[in-house]
Amino acid sequence: MAERAVRKTPQRRTKAAQRARTLERILDAAEYLFSRHGLNGVALRDVAQRVGVHTSLMHYYFADKQRLFEAVFTRRAGITSSRRLDALDRYEREAGASVTVEGALRAFLDTDLELYIEGGKGWKNFAAFAARVSNSPEGAALMDLHFDPVVLKLIGILKRALPGCADADIFWGYDFVSGALMHVLARTGRIDRLSGGVCQSEDFAAVKDRLAGFMAAGFIALCADRRKAGKSRRRPAVGRRRARGAAAR
């Protein structure tokens, strides 16, 4: 019935190109499926079917399922990590001594959100994938491996913007920021239903308008409150540090 010209893989290029193309398609399919069903909710056959190849090809390109999962994470994690490192560097250079909490958070958060806004479907899938990883214990090692450098850079700037603030407050503040960001990236649709359509999970631009400012105010209040409350709190005196020394540069 079909004419002779019909081929399974139209226009095959060089082997290197073919390999690269198939790898990308496998990673895209895996990213999509893992983001929705998690590591164990996806069979290699599901990924293969989505790409339109045989399951055994998954093993040709990746040692096993765990490696495929990690490859999905690694592919984009490095990109967003270095983009944000660059943004933080640039901000530090521009702001000099007058760095602010909001400025640092904008470099960290908005740079990331822009990527998901402008990067197309693949990046949106990665966002949901990463969100899932971030709230699961198995994912912790992946987060550490790829994001520690950016996060520590951010925290360094936050410390300069909040002289005299206890380290614990800054780290906990970061944990709140990270949790909020990751939850937004998950796009579960819950906020859409809760708000009766006033907010939309997919609307990262709306998040970008609000997240950094919101969190910056949180940090500032936290450090102020804690300094005020200082001695009367439940934390034993041992835990309190002389904030003075750390204030300078």
Partner DNA sequence: ATTATCTATAGATCTATAGATAATGC
Window 29 to 68, contacts with a copy of itself (CB under 8 A): 36-41
**57 vs 191, which CB is nearer to a copy of itself?**
191
- E strand or H helix at 245, and its extent? none
For residue 134, the minimal CB distance to a copy of itself (Å) is 7
**12 vs 233, which CB is nearer to DNA?**
12
Task: Tell me which of 27, 87, 113, 215 binds a copy of itself, using CB under 8 A.
Answer: 215
Tokens standing for residue 21: 């193309």
**29 vs 33, which CB is nearer to a copy of itself?**
33
Summary count for the chain: helices (H), strands (E): 11, 0
Buried b (16+ CB within 10 A) or exposed e, 1-19: eeeeeeeeeeeeeeeeeee
Residue 161 binds what, of DNA, a copy of itself, none (CB under 5 to 8 Å, by partner type)?
none
How far is Cα 72 from Cα 125, in angstroms, rounded to an integer? 10
**168 vs 247, which CB is nearer to a copy of itself?**
168
Per-residue DSSP letter, 106: I
Stretch that binds a copy of itself, among 4-12, 49-57, 112-120, 150-158 (CB under 8 A): 150-158
Mask 96-125, x = binds a copy of itself (CB under 8 A)? ------------------------------
Which residues neighbour 133 within 8 Å (Cβ) at sequence distance 6 or greater?
73, 139, 142, 143
Stretch that binds a copy of itself, among 26-34, 51-59, 83-91, 191-199 (CB under 8 A): 191-199
How far is Cα 33 from Cα 21, in angstroms, rounded to an integer? 19
Which residues neighbour 168 within 8 Å (Cβ) at sequence distance 6 or greater?
239
Task: Tell me which of 2, 3, 8, 97 binds DNA, using CB under 7 A.
Answer: 8
Closest CA to 77 of 14, 31, 117: 31
Mask 18-37, x = binds DNA (CB under 7 A)? xx--x---------------
Residue numbers at the binding site for DNA (CB under 7 A): 8-9, 12, 14-16, 18-19, 22, 42-46, 52-57, 59-60, 64-65
